[in-house]
Chain A
Amino acid sequence: MTMATRQDADAGPRHAERQGTLHIEGVRFGYGRREVLSGVDLDIGTGESVALVGLNGCGKSTLLRLCAGLLTPAAGRVRLGGDDLARLSRRNTARRVALLHQSAPAVPGMTVRQLVRQGRYADRGPLGMLRDGDDAVCARAMADVGVGEWADRPVDSLSGGERQRVRLAMALAQDTRVLLLDEPTTYLDLRHQLEVMQTVVRLREERGLTVVMVLHDLGHAARFAERIVALRAGAVAADGPPAEVVTPRLLAEVLGVAGRVGRDPEGGWPVCYPDHPLPLGGPLAK
């Protein structure tokens, strides 16, 4: 299949290189009076794969939404490919960053093809007409995650794992350089978890995508991400490659559990053996 995607058509290799960067500079954010993020700085380069880990309510998903431009920081800024997200329109943001949500309502009767096409919304012409090549982008997105054969089946007839792949295809149809995933494996069985994670890893390698994902499973984070950013109480507590970051200390201080860390005998990535939860107010307290 030959087609000119937006990235190929962009001005030059340096510009294309910059498109996938994400700079989070002194970002603070709160819901009402409750401060969720209290000053986060993070530089993510093109092609990196970053896993955000931390306890429930530590601000991981909020950070992801800020990166997608769905929320605006109370202080600081998020720059995507050098541009301040707060100044980009919704449409222009969606052309450059895609976000896969944890869950979304299924639309009764909507087919896989129709849902994936919704990913092309930001690129549509007047009156919502699909442009030349849009069908090809959708077909490629469906093929990438292996849902092409179900194109005309209603999404609500699919299983949870299949739906998740379809929604991943919708995000891919946005044809962006940056892909954000909010707990992409929640509700999936082990087999489908691995399927989704490996698809993401493969796509990142093939396309040079920047991938930032919120993961609850530290095992997935250690195995499938190149960099782990651990958040605690709205601030970065640890940042680095899995082999350095995943330690008993991280388990205790960030995730609040006592446990041991070993190595996978074949792959060499860190493997956690959590033991028991630590009492609150222990090492967790700031």
Chain B
Amino acid sequence: MSALAPVTARRWPLVLAALLVLTVGCADLVAGRSLDARDVWQVFGGDGDPAARHIVLRLRLPRTLVALAAGASLGLAGMVLQSALRNPLAGPEVTGVTPGAVLGAVTATGLGLAGWRSPAAVVVAACIGGFAGAGLLWLLTGREKSDPARTAVHGVLVSAVLSGLTAMVLLVAPGELGSVVQWLVGSTEGRVWEHWVLLWPWASAWAIAAWIMAGPLTLLRCGDEQAAAAGLGTGRARAAALGCAVALTAGAVSAVGALGFVGLLVPHLAFAVFGADLRRALPGAALLGAAVVTGADAGAQWLSRALAGALDMDRLSVPTGALTTCLGAALLLAVARRGAGPE
């Protein structure tokens, strides 16, 4: 059948993206200080000295896996949000989800309920915060949820208020300030198996939920009237999609903090590469998100090493979030310059 030809022809971008993720993951494993690629290879071959084994298997591997899962979650969350709100400028960062999750995590840490040593409590706190942020937006937009412009304005408002609250918590209870700053910027430093064990079941469950909603989400992008005429209950579909996006974001934020711009920009890349059908674009967004975050993590480690060498500062480390934000801002500028504009 002739209809099959274009489908198989369009499969290679997904394969390429998967290869990219694999490459970036390997790069992240060998990016850190004190061990080079050969040492890492030896460890995976079953050799290597105990110190190297500890570094690779107990520190680098979980860190890379957490970066991959968090990146995939953020990419998915962004695409689900942009489709459900029919808004190319929607992203977890500007719809109150990420700031809410950060506020939750920071508050829990400030109150001493959670910390780096108790990741589960942080996940719960981040989820509560994320849902609270999204719920606030939901209440504020009222009956105008299908209006992208109003949602965007209210989203920025909610995000600003939540960030302000986070700052207040930080001033009142500076506590574990160092680790809290990592939340604000986003970092994969010090993620261990415990984080991975908490993140992956949550992320995969919601990723599957997102993929099940691919059909309704594609239709929602065609506009509410058209979607309803084609047989979609738009209100319920949008609510389900938003819930899924919040859950994905909260999971990612609880693991790596507020990585900037990933959820906003990865969907644009994914739509450009994989097309407008979300059954293909959603897996694409997950792969690209994983590649971007893990790549940024590898890049941040290389950069830290180079800067530490140049400045002779031993403990310098560049947070991953700083890199994604700079990268994202540059990309956003490029997109805006190209005049793609909204819709």
A242 to B230 alpha-carbon distance, docked (Å): 31
Given A121-B219, A124-B215, A128-B214, is A101 in contact with B275 using a C-beta cutoff of 8 Å?
no
Given A109-B271, A124-B215, A152-B6, is A90 in contact with B233 using a C-beta cutoff of 8 Å?
yes
Instruction: Let me know if A119 is at the binding interface, CB within 8 A.
Output: yes
Q: Which one of A68, A106, A119 contacts B343 once the chains associate, using CB atoms below 8 Å?
A: A106
Q: Number of residues in B with C-beta < 8 Å to the partner?
A: 30
Q: Which residue of A lies closest to B233 (CB)?
A: A90
Instruction: Let me know if B212 is at the binding interface, CB within 8 A.
Output: yes
Instruction: Let me know if B151 is at the binding interface, CB within 8 A.
Output: no
Q: Enumerate A61-112 residues with CB–CB distance to B below 8 Å.
A: 68, 70, 90-91, 93-95, 98-99, 101, 104-111
Instruction: Let me know if B221 is at the binding interface, CB within 8 A.
Output: yes
8 closest pairs, A vs B, by CB? A128-B215, A94-B231, A122-B231, A110-B276, A99-B229, A91-B231, A109-B276, A121-B230
Instruction: Let me know if A174 is at the binding interface, CB within 8 A.
Output: yes
Q: Which one of B221, B272, B279 contacts A107 once the chains associate, using CB atoms below 8 Å?
A: B221
Report A-chain residues with C-beta under 8 Å of the C-beta of B135: none
Report A-chain residues with C-beta under 8 Å of the C-beta of B88: 108
List 4 additional contacts besides A98-B229, A109-B271; criterion CB under 8 Å: A91-B231, A108-B271, A118-B230, A122-B231
Instruction: Let me know if A186 is at the binding interface, CB within 8 A.
Output: no
Instruction: Let me know if A199 is at the binding interface, CB within 8 A.
Output: no
Minimum C-beta distance from B9 to chain A (A)? 10
A120 to B228 alpha-carbon distance, docked (Å): 13
Instruction: Let me know if B334 is at the binding interface, CB within 8 A.
Output: no
Report B-chain residues with C-beta under 8 Å of the C-beta of A104: 222-223, 225-226
A171 to B227 alpha-carbon distance, docked (Å): 11
In this complex, the member of B222, B230, B272, B277 whose beta carbon has the largest number of chain A beta carbons within 10 angstroms is: B230
A230 to B76 alpha-carbon distance, docked (Å): 50
The total number of A-B Cβ pairs within 8 Å is: 87
**A: which residues have CB within 8 A of B?**
68, 70, 90-91, 93-95, 98-99, 101, 104-111, 114-115, 118-119, 121-122, 124, 127-128, 135, 152, 167, 170-171, 174
Q: Which residue of A lies closest to B211 (CB)?
A: A127
Q: Enumerate B72-88 residues with CB–CB distance to A below 8 Å.
A: 86, 88
Instruction: Let me know if B218 is at the binding interface, CB within 8 A.
Output: yes
Minimum C-beta distance from B5 to chain A (A)? 10
